[in-house]
């Protein structure tokens, strides 16, 4: 019979995803069969699964840490923000109609059975299910419609370990305050707590642990120091990529309001000879960039308008005149064309808008979403490329005749006559060392990085880190049979 334990946090971005990934790898090393599970995630950084759906990319990394392929049951509800107040709802990997935030709570009774269904299927094939919460259980104003934290924990009978982030400051208040605002039933689900992201000598917090234990009655599972190699793992937040500039050539990435599937940037950011610079609105695209990379977008038409509002269209034209290279991926590829038509009103009112005009292609958006894992060949060198497609729309035009990828005999992508402006729907291609080295060579950079090997080594190091600083035996003892 499988067991389960849930990792909840005192807030968003306290390191829950990384802890679950590290625990999954640590338990795999112990000979167990762990599986990750997150009832509800909110992210535009999605992964395509072998069963033809999509889940949050953090759960895909956790699956990798557990030594299994990602599956839609690992993240049965995925919210993909499209506007400030609305999001697309993906249930068990399948896209549903967009919903406004004010209306989402009414979907709880429809979604919870699907969440529990996915959880039980995972439990049938695991020794232990590692469940990740979302946000904080202390948001008691949302408790009645919760499926992500205590709502799930109580419905499924899964005990909880609460994690606080000491790097933010006030970690005692984070944990004791959570204890104070929870009702008795929710409070009883928490079996222990842990402190994450400690910088410096952890012995300096020896006096803090008893304070929390006395105030809450919960035992401590340990103080986990800052894991310095975390940047080597695929980032969940695009800003985590921006914090690690390297040496050598500069790649500029305009930060679109609805930037999506930016995992393309992780292997580039890991290159010692590359500096990935995330450009916020208000900053011009840098004149010394070797490459401007236009990333994916969850709302291409709206993000194109934001791109122009930031003045980046002028900067991009100047970059091309200077002989710079441009790569558009998915939504960025669509923006580089001459026109984006939306006859069915997929992204708003029906109509069409002019693209940036740097590729002679036109895109028509439609209701059918393409989700597929792909094996391709980079035509200039013959390097094999593994990636995925996740997009709405079809792109056609003269520059498609210069497609630079081959997918089973089908030409993919487009390129300008000069070859310096390129676009494709294929995500994830930079994870392949051969393609990445060949593409960077066009920009004057040399790559000797074995990216995927580095990810595996870092997951192993993370597991060892948690074995040293977290009482995993106690955590396993807290897990409940399900």
In a domain, 457, yes or no: no
Same domain, 210 and 244: no
Same domain, 284 and 346: yes
Distance from chain centroid for Cα 261: 7
Residue whose C-alpha is closest to residue 156's, from 183, 122, 194, 184: 122
Same domain, 60 and 179: yes
Same domain, 241 and 195: no
For position 239, what pLDDT does the model report?
67
Task: Single out the catalytic residue among 319, 358, 391, 427.
Answer: 427
Task: Single out the catalytic residue among 319, 330, 391, 465.
Answer: 330
Domain count, the chain: 2
425, 395 in Cβ contact below 8 A? yes
In a domain, 479, yes or no: no
Polymer length in residues for the chain: 482
For the domain that residue 313 is a member of, what is the CATH number?
Answer: 3.40.50.880
pLDDT tens-digit profile of 12-24? 999 999 999 999 9
Same domain, 295 and 273: yes
Q: How far apart are the first and last CA of the chain?
A: 7
For position 83, what pLDDT does the model report?
81
Cα separation of 358 and 365, whole Å?
Answer: 19
Using the 3D structure, point to which of 206, 226, 246 is the last residue of a domain. 226
Same domain, 36 and 115: yes
Residue whose C-alpha is closest to residue 293's, from 338, 324, 322: 324
For position 103, what pLDDT does the model report?
84
291, 276 in Cβ contact below 8 A? no
Using the 3D structure, point to which of 205, 226, 247 is the last residue of a domain. 226
CB-based contacts of 325, cutoff 8 Å, min separation 6: 290, 291, 292, 420, 421, 422, 442, 443
Using the 3D structure, point to which of 226, 259, 289 is the last residue of a domain. 226
DSSP lists the bridge partners of residue 274 as 249
For position 237, what pLDDT does the model report?
75
Same domain, 208 and 255: no
Cα separation of 439 and 464, whole Å?
Answer: 35
For the domain that residue 138 is a member of, what is the CATH number?
Answer: 3.40.50.300
Cα separation of 114 and 101, whole Å?
Answer: 20
Same domain, 241 and 173: no
41, 59 in Cβ contact below 8 A? yes
Same domain, 220 and 314: no
Instruction: Give the CB-side neighbour count of residue 343, counting CA atoms within 13 A.
Output: 5
Residues in the chain where the model's pLDDT stays below 70 = 239, 242-246
Same domain, 116 and 239: no
35, 125 in Cβ contact below 8 A? yes
Helix (H, G, I), strand (E, B) or coil at 375: strand
For position 39, what pLDDT does the model report?
98
For position 82, what pLDDT does the model report?
83
In a domain, 116, yes or no: yes
Whole-model pTM: value is 0.93
In a domain, 242, yes or no: yes
Strands (DSSP E) contained in 236-382 are 249-254, 259-260, 274-279, 291-294, 296-297, 325-329, 339-342, 351-354, 362-378
Q: What is the residue whose two structure tokens read 């870092």?
A: 458
319 catalytic? Reply is no
In a domain, 470, yes or no: no
For position 240, what pLDDT does the model report?
72
Cα separation of 127 and 32, whole Å?
Answer: 6
Domain that holds residue 71: 3-226
CA distance readout (Å), 458 to 25, 135, 159, 232, 416: 10, 25, 28, 7, 39
For position 98, what pLDDT does the model report?
83
Q: What sign results for the dihedral spanned by CA atoms 133, 137, 139, 144?
A: positive
For position 436, what pLDDT does the model report?
97
Same domain, 240 and 211: no
Same domain, 190 and 255: no
In a domain, 339, yes or no: yes
427 catalytic? Reply is yes
For position 481, what pLDDT does the model report?
96
Q: What is the residue whose two structure tokens read 């290159």?
A: 271
DSSP characters over 328-344: EETHHHHHHSSEEEETT
């Amino acid at each position: 019979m499988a067991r389960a334990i849930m990792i909840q946090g005192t807030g968003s971005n306290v390191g829950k995803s990384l802890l679950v990934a590290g625990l999954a790898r640590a338990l795999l090393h112990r000979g167990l069969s762990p599986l990750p599970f997150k009832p509800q995630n909110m992210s535009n950084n999605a992964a395509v699964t072998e069963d033809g759906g999509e889940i949050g990319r953090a759960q895909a990394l956790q699956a990798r840490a557990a030594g299994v392929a990602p599956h839609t049951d690992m993240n049965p509800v995925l919210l993909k923000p499209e506007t400030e107040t609305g999001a697309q709802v993906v249930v068990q990997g399948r896209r549903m109609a967009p919903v406004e935030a004010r209306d989402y709570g009414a979907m709880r009774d429809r979604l919870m059975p699907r969440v529990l269904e996915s959880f039980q299927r995972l439990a049938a094939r695991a020794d232990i299910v590692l469940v990740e919460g979302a946000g904080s259980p202390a948001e008691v104003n949302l408790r009645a419609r919760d499926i992500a934290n205590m709502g799930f924990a109580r419905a499924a009978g899964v005990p909880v370990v609460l994690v606080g982030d000491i790097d933010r400051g006030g970690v005692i208040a984070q944990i004791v305050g959570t204890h104070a605002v929870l009702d008795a039933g929710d409070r009883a689900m928490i079996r222990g707590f842990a402190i994450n992201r400690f910088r410096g000598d952890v012995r300096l917090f020896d006096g803090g642990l008893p304070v929390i234990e006395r105030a809450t009655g919960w035992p401590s599972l340990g103080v986990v120091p800052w894991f310095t190699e975390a940047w080597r793992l695929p980032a969940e937040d695009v800003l985590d990529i921006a914090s690690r500039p390297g040496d050598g050539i500069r790649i500029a990435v305009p930060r679109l309001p609805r930037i999506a599937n930016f995992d393309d940037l992780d292997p580039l950011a890991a290159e010692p000879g590359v500096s990935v610079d995330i450009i916020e609105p208000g900053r011009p695209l840098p004149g010394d960039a070797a490459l401007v990379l236009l990333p994916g977008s969850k709302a291409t038409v709206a993000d194109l308008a934001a791109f122009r509002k930031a003045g980046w269209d002028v900067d991009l034209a100047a970059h091309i005149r200077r002989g710079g290279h441009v790569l558009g991926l998915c939504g960025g590829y669509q923006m580089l064309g001459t026109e984006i038509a939306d006859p069915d009103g997929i992204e708003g009112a029906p109509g069409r808008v002019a693209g940036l005009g740097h590729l002679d292609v036109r895109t028509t958006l439609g209701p059918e979403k393409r989700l597929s894992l792909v094996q391709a060949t980079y035509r200039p060198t013959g390097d094999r490329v593994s990636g995925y497609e996740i997009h709405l729309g079809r792109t056609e035009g003269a520059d498609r005749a210069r497609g630079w990828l081959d997918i089973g005999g089908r030409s993919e992508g487009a390129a300008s006559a000069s070859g310096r402006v390129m676009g494709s729907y294929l995500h994830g291609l930079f994870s392949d060392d051969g393609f990445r080295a060949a593409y960077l060579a066009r920009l004057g950079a040399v790559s000797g990085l074995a990216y995927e090997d580095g990810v595996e080594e870092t997951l192993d190091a993370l597991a060892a880190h948690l074995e040293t600083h977290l009482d995993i035996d106690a955590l396993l003892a807290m897990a409940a049979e399900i």
